[in-house]
Structures are given as C-alpha cells and as structure tokens.
Amino acid sequence: MTRFILICACAALPLTAIAQDDDAVMRDRSLIQGFLEDNLSGAGRDIRIEGFRGALSSQAKLDELTIADDDGIWFTLRDAVLDWDRAALLRGRVDINRISAGEIIIARLPSTDPKAPSPEATPFSLPELPVSISIDAIEAERVSLGAPVLRIGTHVDLSVSGTMQLADGSGMATLDIARLNGPAGAFNVDVSYTNATEQLDLNLALTEGKGGLIATLSNLPGAPDIALTAVGSGPLDAFVTDITLATQGQERLNGSIALKAEPSQDEGAPSARRFVADLSGDLTPLFASDYSEFFGSSSRLEARGISYPDGQFDLEQFGLSTQALSLSGALNVASDGLPSAFALSGTLATPTGRATLLPLTGTRTFVDKAQIVASYDSRAGDAWSARATLDGFARDQLRISRVEVDGNGTIERTPQADVSTFLRAIAADVAVAVTGFQTDNGALQEAIGDSLSGAATLAWQEGDPLIIDRLDITTGATEFYASGSVGGFESGFEYNGGLVLDTPRLARFAALSGLALSGATEVSASGRIVPLAGAFDVFVEGTGYDLAVGVPQADALLGGTSRFELTAKRDETGLTLEGAELDTPAVSARASGTVAAQAGDITARISLDDVARLNTGLSGPLTIDATMTHGGATTPWTTRADLVGPGGATARVAGSIVQDFKTANLSITGRAPLGLANTFTTAALVQGTAAFDLALSGPLTLNALSGQISITDGTRIVLPDAGVILTLSPSRIDLARSQATLNVLASPEQGGSLSVTGTVGLTRGLPANLSTTLTNFALEDPNLYSTSLNGTLTLRGPLVATPTLAGTLTLGETEIQVAPSALGAGGEIPEIVHIKAAASVQATRVRAGVVNTGEQGGKASTVGLNLTVRAPNQVYIRGRGLDAELGGQLSLRGTTADIIPVGQFTLVRGRLSILGKRIDLDEGELAVSGDIDPTFRLVGATSTDDLTIQIITQGRISAPELTLTSSPELPDEEILSQLLFGRALTEISALQAAQMAAAVATLTGGGGDLSGSIRKSFGLDDIDLTTSENGDAALKVGKYLSEKIYTDVTIDSSGKSEINLNLDASKNVTVKGSLSTDGNTSLGVFFEKDY
C-alpha cells in the first residue's frame, strides 16, 4: 500500500495540469505508467501496473499492481483508490483522506538479492524519512497472506479498516482486523491521546476461536481459543491498564501496569513518575506438559520503581518467579547514565533436583542447576562483582558439565576541576571456563576438545573508546589473543588493535572441514575496522608449516614453509590492496591495486616453479602477469594477461570484462608446442607448433568463442601401434557459432594422403560431424603387412558419449607376411627386469607398450562402428612357404569395446612350397577380430600312393600354428617324412633329416613342437637347424653319453660333418675337442667361473 502511495506521489509532480481530454488521458497513462514501472523496478524487483488513471486528479485509481522477483509474483494489489491532497506534496507531506483496496495478496515473502558489497565503505548514519505521511482512513476488503508467509500450512484472508487523525496536539487511531477464512478471529485497537491534558485512552482486544492464527503461530498446545484484553483510561500521572489473557474460557494471566506522579520536594520542579507492574497466573496450559515442572501452578512478574525528570532511574524491586526459577534484584541508574547500585540473585533448579527443561523454542534444552549473583553499591566503594554458574547443560547432541563465569571490576566517578562534573570510568576482569564439553559430533569434539576457557580485561573512560587490554580464548586446538580499543555507537564501533590466531595442529579440524588438513599456522592482524560502516585498514600476516588440505595439486603448492602478507584498506573512496604476497617453495604470488565505483586498477603476478606439481602431466615453469583497470561504475574492466608456460608456450589474453564478470570481449593469442600433448597419451607422439588467434565475445562460455587455431607445416604425428608417421600440411581449426570447423590435411610417410573436415560442437556432449578421406593411404608393418587404403569415413555424434564411425574402405594391393619366429628354435626373449631405469628410458618403454602402468589414460568414450572393408582381390598372404591370394568384403559392427565382424576374405588361389614340392591350397579365409593382427586359415592337401595329407596353417598372422593331418593317421614327423621323401622317418638319411629340419623351419618359423617330435623319435637330447660357415643349411644333433660327457654332430647340406666332444672335468674345468671331415681337429681346456 505504501508503494501505491509513492506511485501516486511521483505521478502528481506536474501540478499545473487543469483539464484532461481523452487523448491527454491516454498519454497520461502511457507516459506516467511507463515512467513509474521503469523507475520503481530494479534488479530482482519487477513492478507492473494495469488500469492506472487519474494521476493528475485528487482521486487516483489502478486496477492492478504486481511486484515480482526472480521467482515470480509475490505481491498483488487490486482495485486501489487514493483520495488525497496533491498540493500537500509541496510542503513535504503526503496527506491522504482515504486509501482503499479491493484485494491485497502477499503470496510469499520476497527473495533476497545476494549482491556483492560495493568496494566503497558506507559511513554510518541513522536513517531519515523523506516525507511525513498522514492517513485519515484505510480500508482493504481482503488481504490474503500466502502459506509461505506465515508458515502454518494454509493461507489466511483478512479484512482491514481503520482511521487516524492528528490535529492540534490531539490524535486518535482505530484499527479493526477480522479473519475471513478459517476459525473466527478479530483484533481491535482504539487509542487516543491529548497533549494538553495528557489523557490516554486505550482499548485493545484480541479474540479468536480454537485453531486460530495467534494460537497456531505461538505453538500453544491444542491451539485453544484466545481472549486478550488491555484496557486503560486516565491521565499519565494516574493511568492504570488492566491486562487479562484467557484460553478455553479460563483466565491464565492477569494484572495491571500503573503510572503515578511522584511530587518533587522542590517547589516548581517537575514530578517524577512512579510505575508499578504486577502480572501473575498459571501459565502451564499455555505450554506443553513437559514444561509444567518449570512453571508450576503459579508464575509472577513484578516490578516497582521511579523515573526522575533528570534521567535518574530507580528500579526499587524486580522479581520473576516460577516453580523452578527465582530471580530478584534492584537497579539504580544515576542521571549520568551509570549505575550507582545494583543487586541481582537468582537460582534455577527444580524441587525434585531433576534436570529442568527450559521453555525455549527449537531443540529441547535441559539444565541441572544454574545460579547468578551480582552486586555493586557506590556508597560502599567502587568495586563490583558478579558470578554465574551452570551445571549439567544438555541440548540435542551437546552436553556440558559445568560453565563458570566470574567478573569483577570498578565503576568510578572522578571529580573534575569543575566540582559539578565527574569523569566516568568502568573497569572489568572477566573469566569464563567450560569443562566437560561433550558432543555427538565427533568432528566438533576433535576440534574443540573437552574444555575451553577465555579471559578479558576491559577498561572504559568517558570520552575514550573501550580498551581491551587482553582477550584470550583457548580451546584444544586453537589459541586466540586480541588487544585494542572499541569506539562507541557514533563511531560505528570502530576497533583499533591486533589479534593473533595460533593453530599448532590443523589436523584436529580435518573432520570438521571435510578436508584432510594437516600442518600448523600462525596468523596475526593489526589495524582498524569499523563494522557498521564496513571500513577497514589492516595488515595481516601468516605462516604455515607443512600445510596440506588433502588435494594433491594444492598440497604440492603448500608444502614446506609458506608465508602470506596482506595490506588492505577500505573507506569511502573504495578498496585499496596495497600489497598481497604469498610465498611457498613452489609458488610465488603478488597482487596490488584499487577497486572503486569510479576507477579500478589491479596488478598480479603468479610464478610456479614446475607445473608438474599440479599433476598436469606437463613439466616446466609457469608465469602469469595480469593487469585489470576500469574508469567508471558502468565501464568494463580493461584486462591483459600474459602467460609463459612449459616448452616455450605463450599466451596473451586482452580486452574487456563487464564489472559483474558475466560477459567479456577478449582476444586470446599465442603459440604452444604440440609436444605438450605427448604427456597425456601413449597412443600418439606429436611434434610441431600450434598458433591460436581467438576471440571471446559474450558470456564466459565456449559458445562465445571464435577464431582460428593454426597448425604449422611439417607437424608430425607418430602412431606407434599402427606404425604410421603423418606429416601435416598447413592446417587450421576455425571456431565460430559454438562449433569448431576442422580442415586438416596429412600425408603418411609411406605415401598417400589423409584429410579431415567437418565440425565439432562446443556445446554439451561435443557433437561431431567429421569426414575423413583417405587416398592411397599407405600402411605398413615391415614384419607383418603392407597395404593402401581408399575411402571416406564419417564420425557423427557426441564425442563424450558414443559417436558412430561409418563408411567404406577399399584395400589396394595388400601383402600380409606370415611372421617367422624371431629367434628360431631359441624361443622368445624372457621378461627383462630393468633396474633403476632412467626417466627417459622408462617413458620410451611406456610409449612402446612394453610397460603395464596400470593406468587407462583417462576414460575414453566408446565409438559405434558401421564400417565396410572391400578387397575384391590382391590380398596376399606370403611367408613360410605360403603364397595365397584372397578377396572379398567384411563389415565391422558393434562398438570399439565389442567389435562384431561380419564377413571375411576368402581364397582366390594359392600354393604351399616345401623342398621343391608344390601343394595347391584349396581352402582359405581371412577375418578381422578387433585389431590390426587378423586371423586366417589356409588348407592345402596332397596324396601319395598310401597316404592323404592335409597341411593347415591358422591363427593370428603374428603367431600362426601349423597342423598336419593324414589318413590313415600318423604322427606329425612321419607325415612330414612321407610328404617329403615318400618313406618312413627311420628310413631317411642324415642329409634328408637335415632337409626335413629345414622344411620344418620353413613351415613353423623355427621348429617348435614338430622339431621336438623328431628329436624324441631319434632319442636325441638336442636337434637344431643352423647354418655353416659358408651359409649352407646344417643340422645339429646332440646327446649326453654320460652325466659329464656330451657330444654333438653337425651335418650341412653339402655333406660335410663335424663331431664335438665335451668333458666336464670339474665344476669350473671343461675339456673340449672336435674333428671334421675336412681333417681339422682341435683340443682345449676351459676354465669357467660365474660372477
């Protein structure tokens, strides 16, 4: 309603208007209404007016006014009429004859606006009202208070009417409020007062039925009906008000408050005024039954005293009593405002000695016993004393065995040169001790311990601030000290002094903070603080020892001894940061500047010795230099930041940021070595440089980013697993309209080209639409395969979820080499343990894939597959005597985590050659099982007079297996002997055995199990295929003649042979001799010792 008054007051400024035609009325409505809406609305407050008319007349009306915040409309005023005197505005008054409304709806309380404080401090001052408002009559047919306003679960509708008259030193007011819905209720006030006679008439009545508003809000048990009256009439020197409170028709509280003149003994001097208050009753029905032991059947409040014209106040008697509480005392305050005497004593305890449940709101609170006593009498001296104890405090999860508060000091009045004046002073020493502190909150218990204590020494003298000589607070984990002075209300309670906070064991706050705190801190501060104005001028310094918060990146920066200093000032001109410094073994930071509504200037520098401390995977120093300035309350911050990082990376951010830091206009330029990416992945190695020239215009999100990222010519990408080395041509990535557009061209070292074009959205999920074209793209593993690819692939969908890779690839001439055994019959290299390998060696082994780090390198998204690989022919499998051509088509479905191959390459033609024998292949297939090492199966068949033989080579290309079958069934070595020589194994010559061993090596890549079968058939301990000095194939067989005598015979393909004999004479001595068919002999003695 007040806002409606102000609206009409603003609208009535053009008082010179006399008449209004229809067009003028419309202009009045559109111009004034728009003006009011725009100027009364603000951040978090949106005002809308409908049907506003009569702004230039003595009667203004509006159909509806709404006020909304960020959560919607919370206030609605409908059918409002204002009958007023416009000319009174010129006298600084708002005189209203009548204001009425058909309906007022307050759906809820408005939400608060969480604004950041202004940089300037606001000098403290008392509020001043701009105008005086007089209302003769106010009417509201319906005022609706929403359920969130009163928090009683339902809305309440009221009617309001009243009158107010202030004229010629007399005034009267009436207010009648009635509830329109729910239980009946009414509140009526009729009050009048006349200055000349000091006659006061008061008649107040509140009545409501069971379940009424007041009983519900007061949480009275059962929400009973209520009747409250306060009636009084008479001059102030003989005024008595009778007060009665009843529920359920029973009187609960009654009494009176009386005022009476006390004549002065000095003739003509103004009278003092005596007051007497006496209220008593049985309050137990007004509280839950649990509180009956506290109140008992009778509670009483009584007070008696005199108020003197010179300001002296004498509370002669005060008493408050219930069954559990007894409190009594007296107070005499001299005209100078200081007490000249006081006495207070009180006890809280139940007659049964059980813990007392206190009548407090919220959580139930119990006390076993409490006592207080205080005394002072200036006639007996200046000293005062006070003592309070509390035993057995319990509230929710908190329990305290005992609290003791002791205080003593002086109240002094020192005569001055003018004997009629005194210098007032107060001194106090206060000590607090808490023992037996226990809480079910283990984190709080650990932080505070089981006791805490405090002490203060205070002194005040008239005209001076309050002096805090000493303020100490000690808990189990913290010691706090302060000293200084505190000014009065007129100074905004200005504090000048210092404080020290010593926390030797931060770990005790770990559970309370939710962080793995450790270490110790010492913090001190000194300077000036004005709480009511928000002003300060302070110097803060702190030292930390081995600080940690449980966050690895932060702990790496805070370890060791850290030091912090801050010098800052805030006053009417703004906030000045004279200097802020942080130094740790890892990081150094500096900042200074000023922030004010009219100007601002901030400079900062941060240096980090090694970014590896942040677990970024990078290493090297990092330095950031930044400045920010602005020239007015509405001008943005002009910003510049320069970054120099690892590997010579540089960046500059420059431009402007609005003062609420919600939008910006920035340029971002720089260069970075692409090799920095190598620390994040072992799947690729990158060498080259990227330059970026970006702009951010709008909100601080990726959507507002635009510009270009350029990749220099000659940039190389190595994919070790695929054996691919790509050289990039000059390429770029364009950023605009919330997406990145790629245009990248690369050439593999073996020939061909690859281009990637398309877009990646810079929105949620990073939606991609990329196309990759391969032209004669050569792929080669010298030990496994060589091929070329042609085709186009697309990658579509969110990159952070499951994008789909689709397209068709056509293979050029492809040769797959069946892998020979790398070490012949010697087998694979056993696992090698590297001891104290250098970091560079270890990094190389990780990238080569020979080290299992146990890390996944980050969770990669799964890619869906819809690929087709075509090769009509010219897919050759060669090696180990094989020469086969395959062709066909296969599809890859599923995902990269679960590849589902459909189809395969099948045999076109092929053969297997062994010792001049050619065996045609009549069955063959090649399939992909999920990586670049495919599986295959080739079958060749032949027959002799008595035998049908199949030779099957199958498995992975990198490790195939040979299987021989025959009909009738024979051992492998017999099958091979029949195949090569047409005779049994026992019938072949030594030369043929050597040839057969060579055939085995051809088929198996080194022998394997087939060689072992042949060795066992001849009863040998060793059989091996070697080469002679001339390079001819040779067969070497060996046998132990006894435990210490070993002989071997070597026969090459030309028929030459050699026999060797070894005799182990002892553990360290061996005698060796040899004889060959060319007549050469040798004999030697060898000494061997392990070390």
Please tell me the distance from the alpha carbon of residue 790 to that of residue 795, in angstroms, as a whole number: 17
Of 712-721, 963-972, 1048-1057, which has the strongest mean pLDDT? 963-972
Structural contact between residues 532 and 565, judged by C-beta atoms closer than 8 angstroms: no
Could you tell me which residues come within 8 angstroms of residue 151 by beta carbon, excluding any fewer than 6 positions away?
A: none
pLDDT at 31 over 70: no
**pLDDT digits 0-9 by tens, 445-473:** 999 999 999 999 999 998 899 999 999 99
Query: What is the reported pLDDT for 1091?
Result: 52
The stretch 689-703 carries a mean pLDDT of 88
Query: What is the reported pLDDT for 258?
Result: 94
pLDDT at 610 over 50: yes
From 723, 1002, 794, select the one nearest 881 (Cα to Cα): 1002
Could you tell me which residues come within 8 angstroms of residue 330 by beta carbon, excluding any fewer than 6 positions away?
A: 315, 316, 317, 318, 341, 342, 343
pLDDT at 858 over 50: no
Phi, psi for residue 367 in degrees, rounded to 5: -140, 130
Structural contact between residues 907 and 845, judged by C-beta atoms closer than 8 angstroms: no
Please tell me the distance from the alpha carbon of residue 772 to that of residue 791, in angstroms, as a whole number: 8
What one-character DSSP code corresponds to residue 464? S
Could you tell me which residues come within 8 angstroms of residue 25 by beta carbon, excluding any fewer than 6 positions away?
A: 53
Lowest mean pLDDT among 8-17, 41-50, 71-80, 439-448: 8-17
Query: Helix or strand or coil: residue 606?
Result: strand
**pLDDT digits 0-9 by tens, 463-514:** 899 999 999 999 987 999 999 999 988 888 999 999 999 999 999 999 988 8
Query: What is the reported pLDDT for 4?
Result: 39
Question: In which element (H, E) is residue 217 found?
Answer: helix 213-217
Please tell me the distance from the alpha carbon of residue 105 to that of residue 1062, in angstroms, as a whole number: 113
Query: What is the reported pLDDT for 1033?
Result: 64
Please tell me the distance from the alpha carbon of residue 1037 to that of residue 1060, in angstroms, as a whole number: 11
The stretch 666-690 carries a mean pLDDT of 81
The stretch 524-528 carries a mean pLDDT of 96
Structural contact between residues 599 and 563, judged by C-beta atoms closer than 8 angstroms: no
Query: What is the reported pLDDT for 13?
Result: 38
What residues form DSSP beta bridges with 930? none
Query: Helix or strand or coil: residue 251?
Result: strand
Of 385-389, 993-997, 1030-1034, 1086-1090, which has the strongest mean pLDDT? 385-389
pLDDT at 7 over 50: no
The predicted model scores a pTM of 0.63
Q: How confident is the model at residue 861 (pLDDT cuts 50, 70, 90)?
A: low
Which is higher by pLDDT, 910 or 1007?
910
Question: In which element (H, E) is residue 628 found?
Answer: strand 622-630
Structural contact between residues 684 and 717, judged by C-beta atoms closer than 8 angstroms: yes
Structural contact between residues 171 and 132, judged by C-beta atoms closer than 8 angstroms: no
Q: How confident is the model at residue 427 (pLDDT cuts 50, 70, 90)?
A: very high
Query: What is the reported pLDDT for 2?
Result: 42
What residues form DSSP beta bridges with 393? 400
pLDDT at 707 over 70: yes
From 30, 29, 35, 43, select the one nearest 6 (Cα to Cα): 35
Of 82-91, 132-141, 196-205, 835-844, which has the strongest mean pLDDT? 196-205
| Vertex 161 angle, CA 155 and 166, to 5° | 135
pLDDT at 107 over 50: yes
Please tell me the distance from the alpha carbon of residue 291 to that of residue 64, in angstroms, as a whole number: 49
**pLDDT digits 0-9 by tens, 261-282:** 887 776 666 778 899 999 999 9
pLDDT at 418 over 60: yes
Q: How many CA atoms within 13 Å lie on the side-chain side of 1055?
A: 0
What one-character DSSP code corresponds to residue 53? B
Which is higher by pLDDT, 1034 or 941?
941
What one-character DSSP code corresponds to residue 117? P
Please tell me the distance from the alpha carbon of residue 155 to that of residue 109, in angstroms, as a whole number: 13
Question: What SS3 string covers 809-825?
Answer: EEECCEEEECCCCCCHH
Lowest mean pLDDT among 327-331, 600-604, 761-765, 1014-1018: 1014-1018
Burial class (CB in 10 A: 0-12, 13-18, 19+), 936: buried
**pLDDT digits 0-9 by tens, 153-202:** 888 999 999 887 766 677 788 899 999 998 999 999 999 988 888 889 99
Structural contact between residues 410 and 427, judged by C-beta atoms closer than 8 angstroms: yes
Which is higher by pLDDT, 4 or 235?
235
**pLDDT digits 0-9 by tens, 775-794:** 999 988 777 788 899 999 99
| Domain spans of the chain, in order of start | 1-73+102-110, 136-262, 267-273+281-440, 770-826+862-969
**pLDDT digits 0-9 by tens, 109-161:** 777 655 545 555 544 333 333 444 456 777 888 988 888 888 888 889 999 99
Question: In which element (H, E) is residue 976 found?
Answer: helix 972-981
Query: What is the reported pLDDT for 930?
Result: 62
The stretch 910-928 carries a mean pLDDT of 82
Please tell me the distance from the alpha carbon of residue 655 to that of residue 664, in angstroms, as a whole number: 8
Which is higher by pLDDT, 848 or 934?
934
Query: What is the reported pLDDT for 42?
Result: 62
Query: What is the reported pLDDT for 122?
Result: 47
Which is higher by pLDDT, 652 or 685?
652
From 178, 239, 246, select the one nearest 213 (Cα to Cα): 178
Q: How many CA atoms within 13 Å lie on the side-chain side of 937?
A: 6
From 1054, 1007, 1002, select the one nearest 1033 (Cα to Cα): 1054
Tokens of 1047: 């002989």
Query: What is the reported pLDDT for 832?
Result: 67
Mean pLDDT, the chain, rounded, equals: 83
Please tell me the distance from the alpha carbon of residue 240 to that of residue 278, in angstroms, as a whole number: 11
Query: What is the reported pLDDT for 826?
Result: 41
Which is higher by pLDDT, 186 or 683?
186
Burial class (CB in 10 A: 0-12, 13-18, 19+), 286: buried
C-alpha pair distances (Å), 186 with each of 208, 251, 1047:
6, 19, 124
pLDDT at 916 over 70: no
Lowest mean pLDDT among 147-156, 434-443, 540-549: 147-156
Query: What is the reported pLDDT for 264?
Result: 73
Query: What is the reported pLDDT for 382?
Result: 94
Please tell me the distance from the alpha carbon of residue 475 to that of residue 448, in angstroms, as a whole number: 5
Tokens of 615: 């677990």
Query: What is the reported pLDDT for 12?
Result: 39
Lowest mean pLDDT among 428-437, 819-828, 1010-1019: 819-828
Phi, psi for residue 209 in degrees, rounded to 5: -80, 180
Lowest mean pLDDT among 86-90, 290-294, 1019-1023: 86-90
Query: What is the reported pLDDT for 159?
Result: 92
Tokens of 313: 């106040």
From 899, 959, 963, 904, select the one nearest 933 (Cα to Cα): 959
C-alpha torsion sign, points 16, 22, 26, 29: positive
Which is higher by pLDDT, 56 or 296?
296
Structural contact between residues 160 and 77, judged by C-beta atoms closer than 8 angstroms: no
What one-character DSSP code corresponds to residue 613? G
The stretch 47-75 carries a mean pLDDT of 82
Please tell me the distance from the alpha carbon of residue 898 to that of residue 892, in angstroms, as a whole number: 10
Helix axes 990-1004, 1009-1017, angle to 10 degrees: 160
Which is higher by pLDDT, 574 or 1?
574
Lowest mean pLDDT among 205-209, 961-965, 1000-1004: 1000-1004
Please tell me the distance from the alpha carbon of residue 1011 to that of residue 962, in angstroms, as a whole number: 12
Lowest mean pLDDT among 3-17, 326-340, 734-748, 969-983: 3-17
Question: In which element (H, E) is residue 39 found?
Answer: helix 33-40
